[in-house]
Amino acid sequence: MPNVLAIQGLTYKRNQKLILKNIDLTLETGKIVGLLGENGAGKTTLMRLITGSAQGSGDIMVSDATTATARKAHVSFSEQLHGFNKNVKISRVVDFYQTVYSDFDLNRYHELADFLQLNGELKLLALSKGMREKLIIALTLARQTDLYLLDEPFGGIDSMSRKKIISSIIQWKPDNATMLISDHYVTEIAPILDEIVVVKDQTIAVHQKTDTIRSESGMDIEDYYESLYAGGVDHD
């Protein structure tokens, strides 16, 4: 199967502090992959390096694009809309996306917005945490691209919103696109993951298929993940 993401020898330092060290990672086309790790382990940083929002050393290839500018056309990242004035209406944000992203599909957006019950007339400041996260998901998935990066889409939101978001991921991820979802609490999304990638000690500690973990260790994904930190399980 062709790879949608290929990272080689990626190292990242900030203020002379080593955050990620010599990372190699390839993701196949069409997968949903969980990116796990403690807070501050570097999950968000890894995503930011892929989009070119953060600058490290090493090779990152998305589809066939190697430069940061070219990669941006193949990656849809769940950015947090901080660049917008809080008084702006959702419909205005949608216009913005439609203007600047040629792969933004307005029909897809409206389907997603209907499903997630987003009201375009609301202003950004009027959105609850769950609503805001739904909007970010709808905008991110409305782009038709090769790689989707969802950074902690379930942080601090109610379980109904969480379920809706999970359903929309299953429903709207294009078959030939790959999705990387970061989370530090895996149980809720474990059934939808093909693979997990664990960032630990500045590098990728584990990259494994979830059903392989289940059949080989007999553990659920959360227990397996926690066992990495207890140091009890041999993982190779």
Partner 1 sequence: MKFDDKVPIYYQIKNYLYHEMLTGTLNPGDKLPAVRQLAVDLTVNVNTVQRALSEMITEGTIESQRGKGNFVTADTTRLAQLKEQLVMTQLAQVYEQLHALNLTDEEIIASLKRYIEQKGAGQNA
Partner 2 sequence: MTKMSALFKTMGWTKFRQINQMILLELIAVAVTGIWTAIKGNFNLATLFYLTASWSMLPYVVGFILLAVSTEKAYTADTFRLIPIEETRFYLMNLLSSLATLVYFMVVQAVLYGLTFWLGWSRISGMLPPMATVGSNVVEPIIVMLLVSLMTALLIWSTISFVHLVTSATSNFLPKFRQRALNVVVYVIVIFITIRVAGFIVHGVAWFARITFNGTDLGQFWLALAAMAVVILVEGALNVFLLKRWVETAAN
Binding residues for partner 1 (CB under 8 A): 30-32, 163, 166-167, 170-171, 173, 175, 187, 190-194, 210-211, 214-215, 218-222
Residue 105 or residue 220: which is nearer to partner 1 going by CB?
Answer: 220
Q: How far is the CB of 102 from partner 1 (least distance, A)?
A: 26
Region of 66-74, 120-128, 204-212, 227-235 interacting with partner 2 (CB under 8 A): 66-74
Q: How far is the CB of 129 from partner 2 (least distance, A)?
A: 14
For residues 140 and 97, what is the distance between their CA atoms, to the nearest angstrom? Answer: 10
For residues 31 and 236, what is the distance between their CA atoms, to the nearest angstrom? Answer: 21
Region of 74-82, 190-198, 213-221, 226-234 interacting with partner 2 (CB under 8 A): 74-82
| Most distant CA pair in the chain, distance | 53
- 151 touches which of partner 1, partner 2, none (CB within 5 to 8 A by kind)? partner 2
- 51 touches which of partner 1, partner 2, none (CB within 5 to 8 A by kind)? partner 2
- 80 touches which of partner 2, partner 1, none (CB within 5 to 8 A by kind)? partner 2
For residues 136 and 206, what is the distance between their CA atoms, to the nearest angstrom? Answer: 28
Contacts of 40 (CB under 8 A, 6+ apart): none
What is the 8-class DSSP label of residue 221?
H
- Subset of residues 2 to 61 that bind partner 2, contact rule: CB under 8 A: 13-17, 44, 48, 51-55
Q: How far is the CB of 104 from partner 2 (least distance, A)?
A: 10
Residue 94 or residue 180: which is nearer to partner 1 going by CB?
Answer: 180
Q: How far is the CB of 211 from partner 1 (least distance, A)?
A: 4
In this chain, which of 29, 58, 96, 122 binds partner 2, going by CB under 8 A? 96
For residues 175 and 15, what is the distance between their CA atoms, to the nearest angstrom? Answer: 40
* Long-range residue pairs from 185-193, CB within 8 A, at least 24 positions apart, any chain: 185/154, 185/222, 186/34, 186/36, 186/221, 186/222, 186/225, 187/220, 187/221, 187/222, 188/154, 188/162, 189/34, 189/154, 190/34, 190/220, 190/221, 190/222, 192/32, 192/166, 193/32, 193/33, 193/34, 193/221
Nearest Cα neighbor of 206 from 19, 92, 35 is: 35
Binding site for partner 2 (CB under 8 A): 13-17, 44, 48, 51-55, 69-70, 72-73, 75, 77, 79-85, 96, 99-102, 151
